[in-house]
Amino acid sequence: MTARSNVTDGAKDGSGLDAFARFIEANQAEISRHWVTAVDRSPKVPTSENLTFQQVLDHFPQLCRELAEALRGSVNAQPAAGADAASTAHGLKRWQQGYRLDELIREISIIRRDFAGRWFDLFAANDTALDEREAWRAHAIVHQFFDEVILASVTQFVEEEQLRREASQGELWLAQEKAAAANRAQTEMVSLLGHELRTPLTPILLAASALAGAESLSSEVREFVSLVQHNAQVEAGLIDDLLDASRLTSTRLRLNLQEVDLHACLANARKGCAPDFASKQIIQTLHLSAAAFHVKGDERRLNRVFTSLLRNAIEVTPRGGEVAIDSQNAGEYIEIAVADEGPALDEEALRKLFRPFAEGRRPSPFGLGGIGVSRYVARAVIEAHGGEITAEPRKPRGAVLTVRLKTTGL
């Protein structure tokens, strides 16, 4: 059955514009059905496929009534003035239904095309009241009306999207504030815990140091005391790293700068790690060829950096293996490298090597070489000094970690 046979003839009394308005009102259901079908079949409005007939229909009948009222208006009136309420609601509904902006514009353009062509032609074929001037005016009103509909709908659509984005930004800001607050609380907790753990270690270290030097003790007891002292020092170093790691999340490290002999720092680190080297029977190879080895830095923290690098190398190197320590100058810089014979350093291990709490190159997450805090802090300390610490594979196996710092000259 053709659309022409389904529509009702407009009344032939009154003006042609009024007759066209009454034609629209009389055939509103057929016009609506045809429009919904056209939208549903349009490949350029895919969102409509997930909606029911009533959902797609939305405020369209109200738009038909408002267009009829616009056609009845005077020649000097603004014919689309009454369309704002329905079109605004239409734009809001489409936004809520998940339409894209281009889909909203396309579906209104479909009905504009139908009114200016199909429905106007059907009305004109059955009504002689519309003269040439009124036909031109009817087309102008239809186009102006739907121009206003598109403008109002798009405006509301964009406003709703802007409100959504502002709300999302607000939620993101709140989430960031909560995360920052949680991070601050965690940092404070770690700092407090570190201080609480450090407090009882201080007298242990003092007592162990005093006992280690007591001549009245047997060599066996002094060896035992030295073991206690060494492990307490390791524990103290780990706590210091945890404290520095917690500070790094909120503030920069404060450095106590002075002239520092890096070869002396290496010697101190080797001395502190001597029991670890001995326990695994690891050989040390030392090549200190740098002629300029003084830097401006924080001696205490640089000592810990090299201690961390050596303990990391000892941790991953198998029993009876070798750890090579080298220094050389590269222009105005000194480069100190620590090479181990641990597992191969692949891209994944390299990417995680300086991350806090990354297990690094060991399968176990326990121990200094495993949790990654010391390496994380070491990199932060070196970068705070304006230097860099890098890692690269060593052939045939193992890795080389290199500290690069600017020297103060010979």
Using the 8-state DSSP alphabet, how is residue 213 labeled?
A: T
Please state the domain count of the chain.
Answer: 3
- Assess whether 27 and 141 both reside in one domain: yes
Q: How confident is residue 309, by pLDDT bands cut at 50, 70 and 90?
A: very high
Q: Which of 206, 226, 248 is the last residue of a domain?
A: 248
Q: What pLDDT is attached to residue 361?
A: 55
Kindly state whether residue 196 falls inside one of the protein's structural domains: yes
User: Cis ω on the peptide bond leading into residue 396 (within 30° of 0)?
Assistant: yes
Arithmetic mean of pLDDT, 181-210: 67
- Assess whether 216 and 268 both reside in one domain: no
Tokens at 320, concatenated: 């009876």
pTM of this structure: 0.50
Q: How confident is residue 161, by pLDDT bands cut at 50, 70 and 90?
A: confident
Measured in residues, the chain has a length of: 410
pLDDT higher at 209 or 154: 154
**Of 43-57, 219-233, 324-338, 340-354, which one has max mean pLDDT?**
324-338
Kindly state whether residue 180 falls inside one of the protein's structural domains: no
Q: Which of 119, 145, 173 is the last residue of a domain?
A: 173
pLDDT higher at 188 or 174: 174
Arithmetic mean of pLDDT, 317-335: 93
Burial annotation 51-70 (CB, 10 A radius, 16+ → b, else e): beeeebebbbebbbbbbbbb
Q: Which of 115, 142, 173 is the last residue of a domain?
A: 173
User: Taking the C-alpha atoms of 313, 314, 318 and 321 in order, what is their torsion angle to the nearest 10 degrees?
Assistant: 90
- Assess whether 169 and 194 both reside in one domain: no
Q: What is the pLDDT of residues 100-141, one digit of tens each?
A: 888 888 888 888 888 888 888 888 887 666 778 888 888 888
Residue 281 pLDDT more than 70?
yes
Domain CATH for 353: 3.30.565.10
Kindly state whether residue 304 falls inside one of the protein's structural domains: yes
Alpha carbon distance, N-terminus to C-terminus of the chain? 101
Distance CA 112, CA 116 (A): 6
Residue 388 pLDDT more than 90?
yes
Tokens at 171, concatenated: 């939620």
Q: What value does the mean pLDDT of the chain take? A: 78
- Assess whether 210 and 164 both reside in one domain: no
> Domain of 111?
3-173
Kindly state whether residue 112 falls inside one of the protein's structural domains: yes
Kindly state whether residue 178 falls inside one of the protein's structural domains: no
- Assess whether 159 and 191 both reside in one domain: no
Q: What pLDDT is attached to residue 136?
A: 86
Q: What pLDDT is attached to residue 321?
A: 92
- Assess whether 151 and 204 both reside in one domain: no
Kindly state whether residue 179 falls inside one of the protein's structural domains: no
Q: What pLDDT is attached to residue 94?
A: 80
Q: What is the pLDDT of residues 164-187, one digit of tens each?
A: 888 888 777 877 777 766 666 666
Kindly state whether residue 227 falls inside one of the protein's structural domains: yes
Q: What pLDDT is attached to residue 375?
A: 83
- Assess whether 204 and 108 both reside in one domain: no
Residue 368 pLDDT more than 90?
no
Helices 132-212 & 16-26 angle (0-180, nearest 10): 50
Arithmetic mean of pLDDT, 322-348: 90
- Assess whether 284 and 325 both reside in one domain: yes
